[in-house]
Chains A and B, each alone.
Chain A
């Protein structure tokens, strides 16, 4: 069964600093990969997704993520964090085949931005 690990429960960065959120997945083949962001009390907003092709994916709000097959990773990065980026970030993996094309979420990384 597919699984997603986000090893960092909570990360604090200074505004303007760079950010990297880690995500590792377990799946037998190349899955679909997603990053979502959730502000307190809100639903999930899609930041970016990877399906195939270029392993460096650009998303909204200046985020990017890189798929590394050898490491089974899909880490999210941003070169300069803004205070408005404070939120919880979820990595998710989707099965390329199958019935309902299940998407499994990690437990999330909560980002705190300090001035």
Chain B
């Protein structure tokens, strides 16, 4: 069990550029979640996948954001035409699908800075 990994750990970009983040969940975890965390706040839910299907999206996920999980393993989160307000920590979490409480295991996050 290598845990949830995220790449890159840090990303600095200029406003208007596109960025893509990757998340590798714990193997055999069917559910994968993306959160955004701004300074002084707790993580806010963005979207989640069950296997390759994206089943829920938050209103926070504007049309500039897109997430994929093409083979039900790793996931990518892309932000197009970045804005300064997108600067945040983007966290990925995964959990097993099997019935039971929703214990999510988090990755280290990707810190995005938009200049």
Contacts and interface: CB of A to CB of B under 8 A. Distances in A.
Residue from A9, A43, A51 whose CB has the most chain B CB atoms within 10 Å: A43
A99 B56 contact: yes
B56 A100 contact: yes
A103 B106 contact: no
Given A32-B101, A49-B103, A100-B55, A44 B43 contact: yes
A100 B31 contact: yes
Contact of A103 (B45, B56, B100): B45
A108 B41 contact: yes
Nearest to B107: A43
B4 interface: yes
A102 interface: yes
Contacts of A105: 42-44
A102 B93 CA distance: 12
Contacts, number: 59
A41 interface: yes
Contacts of A49: 101, 103
Contacts of B42: 4, 90, 92, 105-108
Interface of B: 4, 6, 31, 33, 40-45, 48, 50, 55-56, 91, 93, 100-109, 111
Contacts of A51: 100-101
Given A43-B91, A44-B91, A90-B42, A103 B109 contact: no
A24 to B, nearest CB: 14
A55 interface: no
B101 A107 contact: no
A94 B101 CA distance: 8
Interface string A29-58: 000101010000111111001010000000
A100 B48 contact: yes
B109 A42 contact: yes
A43 B106 contact: yes
B45 A102 contact: yes
Residue from B4, B48, B50, B101 whose CB has the most chain A CB atoms within 10 Å: B101
Contacts of B111: 41
Contacts of A32: 101-102
Nearest to A42: B108
